Chains A and B, each alone.
Chain A
Amino acid sequence: MLWWSGCPSWGSARELVWSEMRALGLDPDGLELRELTTDAGAEAERFVGSPTIRVDGRDVQDPGAEPVALTCRVYRLRDGRISALPDPADVRDALRAALERRDRGDTTEARQEAG
């Protein structure tokens, strides 16, 4: 999980991911937290806002054409509401998809496209 201190939702996001990992029988210690503090760091990670949650390199919600920036990320919940956090179901589905890929023996991490 990539996060930036200027947005207060990162702690709740961490709890959300931990909760969904536990629900699927995964060890929450598998969550890697990485703080971004500079524009250069944001650019290197193609970071479009905090929190950004990637499972095996895949974003839990398609960032679309959002610009790279040290900012808070705008999420849409599945019922259409705007939120500072992703929908828990999106996190759950991303974790499940990663588990299914691993079950198939596909351990390739998604690469973030630059530019």
Chain B
Amino acid sequence: MSGGDGIDIGDRAPALELPDTEGATVTLPAPGEAPATVVVWTCNHCPYALGWHDRLTAAAREYAERGVRFLAVNSNDADRYPADSPAAMAERYDAAEWRMPYLHDASQEVARAYGARTTPDLFVLDSDLRLRYRGAPDADHQDPSENAAWLRAALDAVLAGEDPKPATTESVGCSIKWRAAPEG
């Protein structure tokens, strides 16, 4: 199984409506305006997602001051990977600072609509919710000093009304755990 074709740079992001770890529904578009929105696929048990997590949280905290919205989405098949169940997501969310809602995409439809493939996989959207950057947070999940430099550069460009350069990098991480196709 694999994801869908997804969206390209310049495309408007698909709407989403997903539950967070407390069961509240989070939507995109959302009420109010944001100059930029980051949708990041992540999960509970991937060394790449875990390695980059603190850098993403720090970016979310710092860019919140400029009105940037972050959404974290977990689309992994929780039946085969219980570490990514809603209960496990809530437990992890409550244990640490996230600075962004952690959403459960049980049907995996949102991941397919965006074309997300890995954890992490970042989509930076502008104020019109058009995709402006897609890829990794920075060059090395092992090196905190990288400080999500690619994500920050993309956000700085979008906030300045410019095109991120590059607009895409290779998303590096664990593959999203797709549900098996029904037999028959």
Contact = CB atoms under 8 A, between A and B. Distances in A.
A81 B175 contact: no
Contact of B175 (A6, A39, A73, A84): A6
A49 B144 CA distance: 23
A72 B47 contact: yes
The winner among B45, B172, B177 for most chain A CB atoms within 10 A is B45
A86 to B, nearest CB: 11
* Interface size classification for chain B: 10 to 19
B93 interface: no
Interface string B141-184: 11010000000000000000000000000001111010000000
Contact of B51 (A8, A71, A81): A81
Given A83-B141, A83-B142, A73 B172 contact: no
A82 to B, nearest CB: 5
The winner among A6, A77, A85 for most chain B CB atoms within 10 A is A6
Given A71-B81, A72-B46, A74-B45, A83 B51 contact: yes
B50 interface: yes
A36 interface: no
The prevalent SS among residues of A at the interface is loop
A111 to B, nearest CB: 26
A55 to B, nearest CB: 21
Interface of B: 45-48, 50-51, 80-83, 141-142, 144, 172-175, 177
Interface of A: 6-9, 39, 67, 69, 71-75, 77, 81-85
